[in-house]
């Protein structure tokens, strides 16, 4: 199947006008994010069941392409980052998704099974990986890039149909739908400013007073990264944030001592000093949960054994049923079941574990 190169709004509008309402569209994206906060969507590969289109999003209007993501079920593989790139381009997340990586996991495969491996496993086709790490924003794209992009959706309909048949035979199509809805909900969930400090590596080791300062600095760093469209580490590195939070002084000299670039100090020095002083006046947020104690470790070992038994009985990998953080949360707060352990997992694994607890 030869791909069609699309780089005009008229071509996209004409194609979308001819698509059957509600028909599934098999999709992948290529984007760049090395030096920006927001992913820069460079290419959208689409298989509509009849033809493959490679859509040059450097020339297409987001408003023209938006109906594709809004009005049609999108079938993708390992799509969490693709969802963010789509939302960055169009301003909204897709309405309906089906993720074939999730489908493979629910049919008994590894949870992180890659697209190349699943194509080889199900269809016996070996795909090249050469163009994985390239500059997708550079034009013109090379023949290697174009064929790589085409391959990313060429086999997706066939893979999807085989996985759908597997899940139907296992009675797990509803599980797949639930997990895809959960993934989409998590992707579109906005980070709360008061939780920003939790994402700073090493935050859990800070004393109360430094954690209070960090709880003020981290939301500011994240907001600046968004406004300036820079990676968070380009604004201030995690290690520097921790040093600022622990500092006993609040002046420009201290900012230089922790290694901030002179340009950063000129631009943000006054704001950082004011934030540090503000952080010394606020109450610290509750600390992050500490490591499991001896009792919790013993319980976790017992429960992991039970999870393994259940997984073996129903032909799933244990980490598809239960993640470590869910298990630790269940042990510490059995009256507050983590959201992923509701739904289809409730009867399969959550209730048996709660009975043991």
DSSP collapsed to 3 states, 159-175: HHHHHHHHHHHHCCHHH
pLDDT score of 75: 98
Domain final residue pick, 188, 215, 241: 188
Q: DSSP letters of 170-213?
A: HT-HHHHHHHHHHHHHHHHPPPPGGGGGGGSTTGGG--HHHHHH
Beta partners for residue 46, in sequence order: 27, 53
Query: In 3-state terms, what secondary structure has residue 6?
Result: strand
Residues 133 and 201 in one domain: no
233: CB partners within 8 A, 6+ apart: none
Q: Report how far residue 206's alpha carbon sits from residue 343's, in angstroms, rounded to the nearest whole number.
A: 37
Q: What is the DSSP letter of 334?
A: T
pLDDT score of 308: 98
Which of 113, 118, 114, 83 lies closest to 97 in space, CA to CA?
A: 83
Q: pLDDT > 90: what percent of the chain? A: 94
Q: Is the pLDDT of residue 1 over 80?
A: no
Residues 165 and 199 in one domain: no
Residues 172 and 84 in one domain: yes
Q: DSSP letters of 32-77?
A: E-TT-SS-EEEEEEEE-SS-EEEEETTTS-HHHHHHHHHHS-EEES
Q: Is the pLDDT of residue 180 over 90?
A: yes
289 within a domain of the structure (yes/no): no
Q: Report how far residue 185's alpha carbon sits from residue 247's, in angstroms, rounded to the nearest whole number.
A: 38
Residues 91 and 50 in one domain: yes
Domain containing 150 — which CATH number? 3.30.420.10
Rounded to an integer, the average pLDDT of 209-214 is 98
Q: Is the pLDDT of residue 21 over 90?
A: no
CB 279 within 8 A of CB 221: no
Beta partners for residue 40, in sequence order: 32
Report the number of distinct structural domains present in the chain.
Answer: 3
Residues 125 and 153 in one domain: yes
How many other CB atoms are there within 10 angstroms of residue 133's CB atom?
Answer: 7
CA dihedral 321, 327, 331, 332 (to 10 degrees): -140
Which of 99, 103, 49 lies closest to 74 in space, CA to CA?
A: 99
CB 269 within 8 A of CB 227: no
- Tell me the per-residue pLDDT of 310-335, one tens digit each, with 9 for 90 and over: 999 999 999 999 999 999 999 999 99
Residues 215 and 168 in one domain: no
Q: Report how far residue 321's alpha carbon sits from residue 237's, in angstroms, rounded to the nearest whole number.
A: 35
**Average pLDDT score over the chain:** 96
Q: Is the pLDDT of residue 2 over 90?
A: no
288 within a domain of the structure (yes/no): no
Residues 174 and 197 in one domain: no
Q: Is the pLDDT of residue 129 over 90?
A: no
Q: In terms of DSSP bridges, do strands 40-47 and 52-56 run parallel, antiparallel, or are they unpaired?
A: antiparallel
Label residue 158 exposed, middle or buried (CB < 10 Å: 0-12, 13-18, 19+): middle
Residues 225 and 147 in one domain: no
Which of 243, 249, 193 lies closest to 222 in space, CA to CA?
A: 193
285 within a domain of the structure (yes/no): no
Confidence of residue 32 (pLDDT cuts 50, 70, 90): very high
286 within a domain of the structure (yes/no): no
CB 23 within 8 A of CB 74: no
Which of 323, 338, 327 lies closest to 105 in space, CA to CA?
A: 323
Residues 234 and 270 in one domain: yes
Rg of the chain taking only CA atoms, in angstroms: 24
Residues 268 and 200 in one domain: yes
CB 152 within 8 A of CB 131: no
Which of 88, 20, 16, 91 lies closest to 46 in space, CA to CA?
A: 16
Boundaries of domain holding 220:
193-279
Domain final residue pick, 219, 249, 279: 279
- Tell me the per-residue pLDDT of 133-153, one tens digit each, with 9 for 90 and over: 789 999 999 999 999 999 999
């Amino acid at each position: 199947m030869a791909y069609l190169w699309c780089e005009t709004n008229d071509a996209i509008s004409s194609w979308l006008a001819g698509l059957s309402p509600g028909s599934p569209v098999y999709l992948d994206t290529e984007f760049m994010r090395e030096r920006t906060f927001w992913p820069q969507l460079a290419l959208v590969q689409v298989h509509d069941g009849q033809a493959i289109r490679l859509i040059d999003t450097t020339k297409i209007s987001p408003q023209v392409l938006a109906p594709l993501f809004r009005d049609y079920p999108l079938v993708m593989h390992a799509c969490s980052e693709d969802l963010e790139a789509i939302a960055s381009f169009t301003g909204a997340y897709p309405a309906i998704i089906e993720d074939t990586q999730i489908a493979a996991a629910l049919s008994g495969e590894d949870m992180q099974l890659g697209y190349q491996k699943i194509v080889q496993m199900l269809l016996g086709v070996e795909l090249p990986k050469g163009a994985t790490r390239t500059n997708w924003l550079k034009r013109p794209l090379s023949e290697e890039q174009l064929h790589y992009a085409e391959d990313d959706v060429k086999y997706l309909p066939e893979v999807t149909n085989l996985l759908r048949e597997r899940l139907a035979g296992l009675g797990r199509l509803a599980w797949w739908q639930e997990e895809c809805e959960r993934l989409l909900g998590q992707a579109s969930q906005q980070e709360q400013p008061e939780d920003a400090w939790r994402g700073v590596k090493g935050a859990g080791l800070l004393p109360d007073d430094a954690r209070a300062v960090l709880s003020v600095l981290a939301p500011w760093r994240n907001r600046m990264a968004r406004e300036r469209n820079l990676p968070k580490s380009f604004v201030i590195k995690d290690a520097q944030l921790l040093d600022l939070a622990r500092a006993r002084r609040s002046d420009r000299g201290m900012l230089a001592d922790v290694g901030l670039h002179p340009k950063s100090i000129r631009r943000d020095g006054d704001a950082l000093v004011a934030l540090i002083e503000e952080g010394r006046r606020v109450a610290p947020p509750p600390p992050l949960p500490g490591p499991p104690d001896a009792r919790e470790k013993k319980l976790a070992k017992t429960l992991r054994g039970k999870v393994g038994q259940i997984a073996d009985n129903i032909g799933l990998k244990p980490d598809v049923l239960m993640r470590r953080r869910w298990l630790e949360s269940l042990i510490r707060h059995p009256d507050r079941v983590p959201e992923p352990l509701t739904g289809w997992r409730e009867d399969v694994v959550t209730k048996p574990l709660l009975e043991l607890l």
